[in-house]
């Protein structure tokens, strides 16, 4: 095995390895823990949890697409109290590093969730998933509205104080992602998760009806990787000091390396784990070997490397 220092940081949270689960694709890691040690990867980013238990949207709520997957789960989950009672102890027992993802329908719900996390030991960071409809404003998705995005992050920051790093998870479905990113960083985000799924739709040509009960859903998988790489590259260029947890269609160490040199400090893997539950450790090992083959002695040296290469016109 090649000796490359894979450690990384997101805000003031330190991780010995750079590959994480992607929120929503592995719940709290119970199923994946049958296949590999959860403490051997960077950490588990749990499914976005809300205040109350939710059944999610009606089925069908997943559809395969070429090079991707469309989902509209509707944030199914146990609610924060049951999550804290059952999932956190499980992850602590497995010695996993934990990033808790939270989601809300109102600015106040996010703050309430942050309040519940205050003082819970063993959590490395909070991911604030703002890709949810704002019930107070005509269902407009928080992450698509610069002002609403800022208010959510500001509320969480005020509630949690300096206790935990905040990672704001942004949607690529906006015209100016850098503008949204700057706003949430000014409001108190220490790091950014880029990108959430891309809004898409599949129509079943046999039934001539939308495939998902919710009609539209979030597209993930290799189809969206170039969008994620573009988003990471643009945001890192504008905010080079802000760590990015990159995600979107990563299926190999090469894909993870592409996100690292675009500017990501860590990479989450989601859809690939559905096809291969060992995808995360495999990708982490491939990334280590690729870093060594490219002459890097640490992951940190490679972060944002693509920005340092001058490409002259006409080449």
Is residue 234 within 8 Å of residue 177, measured between CB atoms? yes
Is residue 75 close enough to count as binding ligand SIN by CB under 6 A?
Answer: yes
22, 132, 192, 299: the active-site residue: 132
Instruction: Pick from 8, 28, 51, 131 the residue near ligand SIN by CB under 6 A.
Output: 131
In this structure, are residues 173 and 199 in contact, taking their beta carbons and an 8 Å threshold? yes
Binding mask 4-43 for ligand SIN (x = CB under 6 A): --------------------x-------------------
Closest CA to 43 of 306, 293, 315, 284: 284
Where helices occur in 161-298 by DSSP H, the ranges are 177-186, 225-238, 253-262, 271-275, 279-293
- List C-alpha distances in Å: 184 to 46, 49, 145, 179: 21, 20, 11, 9
Contact 6, 288 (CB under 8 A): yes
* Contacting ligand SIN within 212-241 (CB under 6 A): 218
Q: Which helix (H) or strand (E) holds 93?
A: helix 88-93
Among 17, 32, 70, 73, binds ligand SIN (CB under 6 A): 73
Query: 292 near 89, Cβ under 8 Å?
Result: no
Under the criterion CB under 6 A, does residue 72 sit at the interface with ligand SIN?
Answer: yes
Cβ–Cβ < 8 Å for 156, 142: no
Q: Does 196 bind ligand SIN (CB under 6 A)?
A: yes
Listed ranges 68-76, 90-98, 157-165, 255-263: which one lies at the site for ligand SIN (CB under 6 A): 68-76
Residue (103 or 303) nearer to ligand SIN, CB: 103
> To the nearest whole angstrom, how small is the minimum distance from the Cβ of residue 43 to ligand SIN?
18
Taking the least distance from each CB to ligand SIN, the nearer of 166 and 303 is 166
Asked about 132 being catalytic, the answer comes back as yes
Q: In this chain, which residue has its C-beta nearest to ligand SIN?
A: 73
Q: Which residues bind ligand SIN (CB under 6 A)?
A: 24, 48, 72-75, 129, 131, 196-197, 218
Active site residues: 132
């Amino acid at each position: 095995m090649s000796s490359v220092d894979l450690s990384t940081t997101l805000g003031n949270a330190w991780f010995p390895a750079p590959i994480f689960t992607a929120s929503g694709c592995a719940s709290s890691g119970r199923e994946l823990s049958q296949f590999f040690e959860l403490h051997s990867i960077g950490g588990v980013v749990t499914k976005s949890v809300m205040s109350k238990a939710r059944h999610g949207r009606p089925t069908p709520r997943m559809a395969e697409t070429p090079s991707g997957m469309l989902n509209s789960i509707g944030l199914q989950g146990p609610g924060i109290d049951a999550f804290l009672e059952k999932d956190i102890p499980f992850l602590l027992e497995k010695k996993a590093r934990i990033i808790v993802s939270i989601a809300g329908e109102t600015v106040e719900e996010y703050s309430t969730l942050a309040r519940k996390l205050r003082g819970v030991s063993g959590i490395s960071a909070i991911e604030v998933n703002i890709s949810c409809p704002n019930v107070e404003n005509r269902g407009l998705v928080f992450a698509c509205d610069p002002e609403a995005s800022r208010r959510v992050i500001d509320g969480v920051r005020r509630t949690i104080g300096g206790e935990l790093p905040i990672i704001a998870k942004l949607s690529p479905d906006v015209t100016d992602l850098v503008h949204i990113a700057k706003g949430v960083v000014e409001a108190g985000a220490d790091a950014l998760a880029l990108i959430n799924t891309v809004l898409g739709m599949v129509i079943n040509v046999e039934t001539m009806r939308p495939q998902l009960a919710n009609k539209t859903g979030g597209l993930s998988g290799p189809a969206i990787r170039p969008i994620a790489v573009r988003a990471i590259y643009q945001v890192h260029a504008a905010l080079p000091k802000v760590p990015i947890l990159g995600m979107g269609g990563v299926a190999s160490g090469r894909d993870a390396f592409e996100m690292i040199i675009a500017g990501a400090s860590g990479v989450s893997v989601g859809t690939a784990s559905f096809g291969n539950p060992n995808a995360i450790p495999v990708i982490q090992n491939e990334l280590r070997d690729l870093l060594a083959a490219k002459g890097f002695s640490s992951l940190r040296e490679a972060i944002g490397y693509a920005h340092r290469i001058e490409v002259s016109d006409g080449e």
